[in-house]
Amino acid sequence: MEETPVCYPGAVEQARLLARGATTAAELLATTELRLKSSRGVFTDVDLAAARRRAEEADRRLAGGARGGLLGLPLAVEDSLPRSAFEALEAAGAVVVGRTSAAEAHRNPVLDVPATALDPKVSGTAVAVATGVVAAVLARRAPGAGQVPAGGAGVVGFETSGGRGVVARTVGDVAHVLRGIGWTADPANRPLRIGVSLRGLAVTRRTRAPMRRAVEDVAALLSLHVNEVVDHDPHLASEARLVLAPHLAAGPRELELLDRYLPRPFRGICRSMRAAERVMLNHMFTGVDLLVTPGHTGPAETMSLPGAVLVRNGATSPFSPLWRISGYPAVSVRAGSDADGNPLPVTLIAVPAAEGELLRVAGIIEERGGHRSP
């Protein structure tokens, strides 16, 4: 089977093609199978036989006049989610191909580096969407795609207040999947006050010039569409907050190990630290509805090695704790490109119950020139 433009549309366009009768669920699945041959490693579990049966059933329903947002779309579920996520997609009529890998063990498919480069790693979930194997994936910690934020892998990663997330090609695709499985994220008709933070929570790291310019361009753009955009860097001047900063930079694995192996007398101290962190993070949103931060400290830097090129991506830790620890809704979206054409992502974090505003603002950034399909 030859590759056709059907390979490249996201969830919204694929649903339109199915509704018009321009393609079938079986054809979309055949395209997925074709692309899966070179991307099998990004899945931890694939059941094509069951997917073909679901595609046949979707085509029978479509031929009978049935319509649904996810009916017939080839989608997947990250292996970090329970069976209920799988069932939610099937109930919406999606053709679930299998489970993608949440592990940071895959090459960034959109990074403009030589084939011999040892480039930053992304999750299998992000690769499956960025390479067009599936239109979208239900995932946990969706704004982060391993060492590279989702926007830095050419996709959009969105997470709700409850920790449920979607990785898709565009903001519109994310919203389409959310509606298809009954998750509400409708924007309220109210003025927004957006804060912009370039410093993050680690005082030892600074955002490099290309990434800084991308965030400043986003701030200027949003000032034309929302009520107010203000500088809103966290204040870490007090000694207590400086002590907390290294703990805030810890990833989920480090925090899990801390709980598992820390001597019992110290566990109460850790719980107190986490409570203090949450208070500090909540305080950061005083006076703003949404916070714009760099996806990482800057574009990738290369270093020549014997027989290869080492690519070092900007650290994500100064910014990711804002949504990883707080549990606030967040989205990672591409905001532009560096001089080599590599994506420059921004991460937007909103107060709870503001998912709709979050997606609306992310859509403004994407429409201006952030998203470019790989």
More confident residue, 302 or 237: 302
Element (H, E) at 350: strand 343-350
Angle CA 17–3–372, to nearest 5: 70
Select, from the ranges 73-87, 235-249, 252-266, the one with the highest average predicted confidence (pLDDT): 73-87
pLDDT given at position 304 = 67
Given pLDDT bands bounded at 50, 70 and 90, which one contains residue 235?
A: low
Element (H, E) at 294: strand 290-294
pLDDT given at position 270 = 63
**Using CA atoms in the order 270, 79, 359, 297, what is the torsion angle rounded to 10 degrees?**
60
pLDDT given at position 319 = 73
pLDDT given at position 5 = 39
Given pLDDT bands bounded at 50, 70 and 90, which one contains residue 1?
A: very low
Q: What is the mean pLDDT of residues 153-162?
A: 90
Rounded Cα gap, residues 341 and 175, in angstroms: 27
Phi–psi pair at 118, nearest 5 degrees: -95, 80
- Pairing assessment for the beta strands 43-46 and 121-122 based on DSSP bridges: unpaired
pLDDT given at position 61 = 94
- Pairing assessment for the beta strands 43-46 and 95-100 based on DSSP bridges: antiparallel
Looking up tokens 């499956």 gives: 128
Q: What is the mean pLDDT of residues 341-346?
A: 86
Rounded Cα gap, residues 269 and 330, in angstroms: 28
More confident residue, 313 or 184: 184
> What percentage of residues in the chain have a pLDDT greater than 90?
42
Given pLDDT bands bounded at 50, 70 and 90, which one contains residue 362?
A: very high
pLDDT given at position 169 = 93
For the stretch 87-109, pLDDT in tens is 999 999 999 999 999 988 888 88
Q: What is the mean pLDDT of residues 334-342?
A: 84
Given pLDDT bands bounded at 50, 70 and 90, which one contains residue 113?
A: low
Name residues whose C-beta falls within 8 Å of residue 11's C-beta, 6 or more positions apart in sequence. Answer: 70, 73, 75, 135, 136, 168, 169, 173, 176, 177
For the stretch 5-48, pLDDT in tens is 344 689 999 999 999 999 999 999 999 999 998 888 899 999 99
158 close to 140: Cβ distance less than 8 angstroms = no
**Using CA atoms in the order 291, 292, 293, 298, what is the torsion angle rounded to 10 degrees?**
180
pLDDT given at position 274 = 66
pLDDT given at position 246 = 46
Given pLDDT bands bounded at 50, 70 and 90, which one contains residue 2?
A: very low
pTM for the full model? 0.85
pLDDT given at position 103 = 86
Residue 166 has pLDDT above 50, yes or no: yes
pLDDT given at position 30 = 94
Phi–psi pair at 173, nearest 5 degrees: -65, -40
For the stretch 246-265, pLDDT in tens is 454 455 555 566 666 666 66
Residue 306 has pLDDT above 90, yes or no: no
The secondary structure of 107-169 as a DSSP string is E-TT----TTEEPPEE-HHHHHHHTTSSSEEEEESTTEEBTEEGGGGTSEEEE-TTSEEEEES
